[in-house]
Structure 1
Amino acid sequence: MPTLWIALFALVLSVVGYALGRRRAMVSADGDIRNLHSRPNYYGVNAALTGLVPAFLVLALWTLGQPLFLQNSVSGMISDAQIEETGSLGLVMSDVRRVADGLDQAVAEGAMDAETAGNVRIDLTDVRARLGEVGVALGSAVSQETLRAAQAYRAQSSFGDLLKTIVVLGIALAGISYAVMRTNATFRARNVVESGVRWLLIAAASIAILTTVGIFLSLIFNTVEFFRLYPAGDFFFGTTWQPSFTGRGGSSQLGVLPLLWGTFYISLIALAVAVPIGLFSAIYLSEYASPRVRSVAKPLLEVLAGIPTIVYGLFALLTVGPLLLRVFGDDTVGWMQGGTAVMTAGLVMGIMLIPFVSSLSDDIINAVPQAMRDGSLGLGATHSETVRQVILPAALPGIVGAILLAASRAIGETMIVVLGAGAAARLSLNPFDAMTTVTAKIVSQLTGDSDFSSPEALVAFALGMTLFVITLGLNVLALYIVRKYREQYE
């Protein structure tokens, strides 16, 4: 049974458990709600959560763990010769999973029955052609070893899904039964439910921390491996980025300074565009605009935040770049050699960040107490003087935090840079030169077949770790500024 259907059945059981728990509580109180320790709904919620939460937890762990278990189980059927021929065990297992999914699809569409799918042989059947008839495209012929592993993977996956269904629904039923049996008029259902909800909220809040730890761990091991193969000093202080892909990084120059310079240069131009426009628009919308104008202008401004970054990249490539080239190109002042440049990406990225700066600044300005405005106006200050001398100083810590968060967003942008700034890694002060950033090079280093034993591929993880540390530092600095100075104005 698919995971979604199992989850839906568990939800149905929890609804039934809610009704049973509530009914059991009312029966134990002889129908008089005054005899209950808690309100009847708490008894129903207790029964529902007691069955649903453990079932969903087991379902999530099983869904994540089953593919790993199957891969470890089936990988023993793959010979070393086939691994050497294919290139890696991961590529072989990818073919195994693709063939197994193709057999399942063939059975589902009636192209072959389940018994045939489990016993088919390549010397009797053209498996690649049979699977191609049902829309499963395979890049190469299927070997008998791959087919046998796929059949085992398919059989074990089917058994695992069946066992998962039984276990998850059994846990849901057992939890609901236990909760209903201990339900009585004196049971402290409200205390139990509130304690359980508190732990659920703690678990939800912990996801952000665990995600950060997971990102860090996913980067750190490959970063350490990269620095074993390539000197850290050459990486952090090198001024040339020139990967050669000729093996083991013997002639590669992987200095990160040109990439960091391009990243900060483009981000600086983006902030120079986004901060004034975003801040001024926030001041206008919060202090000067009428409610009718604000109700129209604010949603229109925030529409920019919903535009995909690839669309901004196309706008930079097809519109902004050619426009700047006509103004600053060879036919005029000769500063710009092509449409892709730091200025192109910076201007478009700044437009993308305008709603980010505007929305955060607008919320921060609106959070300034009205009493401060009234006090300033009462002392004879004009509206503009109140904005300059009272509201903006009071909101300044939050505005600075918003700007730093926008900076971290600009540093992590990829698609606008790829399409608007070019791919040249250089140290230049000319904003009309083509440059590139850390994120763009991470994409290029991992595009295509990557040999993760070479510095040219592993350097992507070192670049990612560098970017992770920079953006994390900006976010921490923004939170520190907001918390440090916010108390003065409350």
Structure 2
Amino acid sequence: MPVFWLVLILLALAVAGYFIGRIRAVNSVGGDSRVLHSLPVYYGASAAISVLVPAMGLLAIWLLAQPILVERSVSGMIPSSLIPDGANLNLVMADVRRVAEGLNVAVQQGAISNEQARTLRAETSDIRAVLGQVGVALGQEVRPEVLRAAQSYRNLSASGALAMTVTVLALAMVGLGVSIRISHGQFRARNVVERVILLLLMAAASLAILTTIGIVFSMLFESINFFRLHSVSDFFFGATWAPNFRGDSDLSILPLLWGTLYISFIALLVAVPIGLFAAIFLSEYAGPKTRAIAKPLLEILAGIPTIVYGLFALLTVGPLLVSLFGQSGTLGVNWMSGATSVLTAGAVMGIMLVPFVSSLSDDIINAVPQSIRDGSLGLGATPSETIRNVVIPAALPGIVGAILLAASRAIGETMIVVMGAGAIAKFSLSPFDSMTTITTRIVSQLTGDGDFSSPETLVAFALGLTLFVLTLGLNVLALVIVRKYREQYE
């Protein structure tokens, strides 16, 4: 049974349990709901939770665990001759999954029977013709070992899906029966419902933490594999980035880190003054009508996809800068030879960061107590002097936190850099030169046909881990500063 229909059945059982549990609880006290320990809605919600939560939890765990267990079982059927080294096992398993999917489609479309799919042999049947009828393209001949593994993969997946359906529905029915049985006047349904909701909220809050831990460990293990193949000192203290996928590559993070920080610095030079001045205007000078119009329009910039900013950098800002600083430009200088440069990417990225700085700074400035402003104005200071000497110093810790958050956003940007800054990793002080960043190199190293076990591919995880630590440090520092500010005035 497809998962979609299984979920619909569970929802239908939960709805049925809601009404049955509610009606049974009311009937148990002779129809007088005032005698019930809890409101009738809680008895219905308790029944629905008893049906839905355990079954959906088991379904989620099953869907996550079954592919892992099936692949682990099937991978043992792959002979070592097809995988001379561990790096090619994923490629072989991809062929296994593709053939298994093709067999499923062929059975569904009637090209072959279910029995033929189980007994089909690569030595005596044209498996490519069968799969070609259902639109499954293969790059090479299907080996007998791959076909047998695909048939086993298909059979195990089908058996697992059947067992999942039966087990999940059985658990839902058990939950329905138990909830109906305990739905009586003295049952503390409200306590149960609130306790379950609290556990669900705790699980939702823990999910983000567990996801972060999973991301860190996934990058950490691959980074360890990288440092087993490449020198740690060269990665952190080398001066050249030159991956050639042929051995003896120079894989130093310093040129990439320099480009990342340089572009981010220029972006902050653009975003901080504009965003801070916009925040001051919106919070201190703009009227309610102007603020109601200007702030949403300003925050629209945050919703524009970064690829659009990248196109804007490539087609508009880059040629504009070349027309100013190029050899035949308005200024008559030859500082910029192409549209891709640090200045191009930094300027466009700064525009993208304006709403981050302005919105956060606006909220922080508005959090400064009005009594401080009134005291300054009462002593004879002008509004501008109050803003300059009282409001901004009071809001400065929060503003610094907002700037650090914007900096971490700039460090992690990819598409604007790809299209606006170029792909050259080098040390240079000129903002008119092309450079690249850590994020663009991560994308570059993980795309293509490179060997996943090579240092040139694994270096992407070391770069990602370094970038994660850098942005995490900035975020933690920003949150600490903002928290101290809020504790001072709240």
Give the structure-1-normalised TM-score.
0.94
Residue equivalent to 1:466: 466
Alpha-carbon distance in structure 2 between the residues aligned to 1:68 and 1:157 = 11
Report the Cα distance in structure 2 between the residues aligned to 1:435 and 1:165, rounded to whole angstroms: 54
SS at match of 2:84: helix
What is aligned with 1:489?
Answer: 489
Structure 2 residue aligned with 1:52: 52
C-alpha deviation, 1:58, in angstroms: 0.9
Whether contact under 8 Å (1:397, 1:486) holds in the other structure is no
Question: Which residue of structure 2 aligns with residue 269 of structure 1?
Answer: 266
312, 316, 319: which one pairs with 1:315? 312
Q: Which residue of 1 aligns with 2:395?
A: 395
1:283 equivalent in alignment to 2:280: yes
Alignment pair present for 1:292 and 2:289: yes
User: Does structure 1 retain, via aligned residues, the 8 Å contact 2:245–2:450?
Assistant: no
Please tell me the residue identity of whatever aligns with 1:304: L
How much has 1:137 moved relative to structure 2?
Answer: 2.1
Counterpart amino acid of 2:46?
Answer: N
Q: Which amino acid aligns with 2:27?
A: V
Unaligned runs of 5+ in 2: none
Cα displacement (A) at 1:341: 0.8
Provide the rounded CA distance (Å) in 1 between the counterparts of 2:401 and 2:88.
46
Letter in structure 1 aligned against 2:314: L
CA RMSD of aligned residues (A): 2.0
Q: Post-superposition shift, 1:85? A: 9.6
Using a 3 Å threshold, how does the CA distance of structure 1 residues 369 and 21 change in structure 2: closer, same or farther?
A: farther
Does 1:138 pair with 2:154? no
Partner residue in 2 for 1:302: 299
Q: Secondary structure at the match of 1:81?
A: coil
Q: Quote the Cα distance in structure 2 between the aligned partners of 1:412 and 1:214.
A: 19
CA shift for structure 1 position 379 = 5.0
CA contact (8 A) 1:408 1:471 kept: yes
- 1:444 equivalenced with 2:441 (yes/no): no
What's the counterpart of residue 80 of structure 2?
A: 80
2:229 is the counterpart of 1:259:
no
TM-superposed CA distance for 1:377, in Å, is: 4.5
Partner residue in 2 for 1:11: 11
Q: Is the 8 A contact 1:274 1:351 kept in 2?
A: yes
SS at match of 1:338: coil
Q: Is contact 1:99–1:147 with CA below 8 Å preserved after alignment? A: yes
Query: How far, CA to CA, are the matches of 1:203 and 1:44 in structure 2?
Result: 23
1:416 corresponds to: 416
SS of the equivalent of 1:185 reads coil
Question: Is contact 1:86-1:92 (8 Å) kept?
Answer: no
Q: C-alpha distance in 2, partners of 1:220/1:37?
A: 53
Tell which deviates more after alignment, 461-470 or 173-182. Answer: 173-182
Change (3 A) 1:143 1:43: same
Describe how 1:305-384 pairs up with structure 2 within 5 A: 305-331=302-328, 332-384=332-384
Aligned length: 487
Distance in 1 between residues matched to 2:379 and 2:129, nearest whole Å: 86
1:109-149 Cα distance to aligned partner (Å, 9 max, x none):
33333333333333444322332332222222222222222
Gaps of 5+ in 1: none
1:238 aligned residue = 238
User: What SS does the corresponding residue of 1:88 show, helix, strand or coil?
Assistant: helix
Structure 1 residues 412-421 or 262-271, which shifts more? 412-421
CA distance in 2, matches of 1:370, 1:56: 50
How far the C-alpha of 1:374 sits from its partner, in A, is 4.7
Provide, for residues 277-334 of structure 1, a one-character-per-residue CA deviation record: whole Å limited to 9, x for no partner: 1222222233333333333332222222222212211221222112111211223311
The CA deviation at 1:371 is: 4.4
Conserved? CA contact 2:87–2:453, under 8 Å: no
Worse-superposed segment, 265-274 or 113-122: 113-122
Question: Which amino acid letter does the alignment assign opposite residue 313 of structure 2?
Answer: A
Per-residue deviation, 1:261: 0.6
**8 A Cα contact 1:223 1:462, kept in partner:** yes
Comparing 408-417 with 28-37, greater Cα deviation is found at 28-37
Instruction: Out of 388-397 and 146-155, give the one that drifted further.
Output: 388-397
**Aligned-partner Cα distance in 1 for 2:187–2:214:** 40
Contact residue 17 and residue 44 of structure 1 kept, 8 A: yes
> Distance between the aligned counterparts of 1:5 and 1:37, measured in 2?
36
Identity of aligned residues (%): 65
1:39 equivalent in structure 2: 39
Once the two structures are overlaid, the 10-residue window that deviates more, 370-379 or 449-458, is 370-379
What's the TM-score once normalised by structure 2's chain length? 0.94
Q: What per-residue deviation string (whole Å, max 9, x for no partner) do you get for residues 431-469 of structure 1?
A: 111111111111111211232332222211111111111
C-alpha distance after superposition, 1:231-266 (max 9, x if no partner): 22221111111123213xxx2222211111100000
Deviation at 1:7, TM superposition (A): 2.0
The alignment partner of 1:106 has SS state of helix
Aligned residue identity for 2:270: V
Give the whole-Å Cα distance in 2 for the aligned partners of 1:376 and 1:8. 63
User: Corresponding residue for 1:170?
Assistant: 170
Contact 2:395 / 2:485 at 8 angstroms: preserved in 1?
A: no
CA 1:453–1:86: 2 relative to 1, 3 Å: closer
- Residue type at the aligned position of 1:272: L
User: What CA deviation, in whole Å up to 9, does each residue of 1:14-41 have, x standing for no partner?
Assistant: 1111112211211122211221111111
Matched residue, 1:120: 120
3-state SS in 2 of match to 1:210: helix
Which amino acid in structure 2 is aligned with residue 296 of structure 1?
I
Contact 1:38 1:190 in 2 (8 A): yes
Farther-moved stretch of structure 1 (256-265 vs 447-456): 447-456
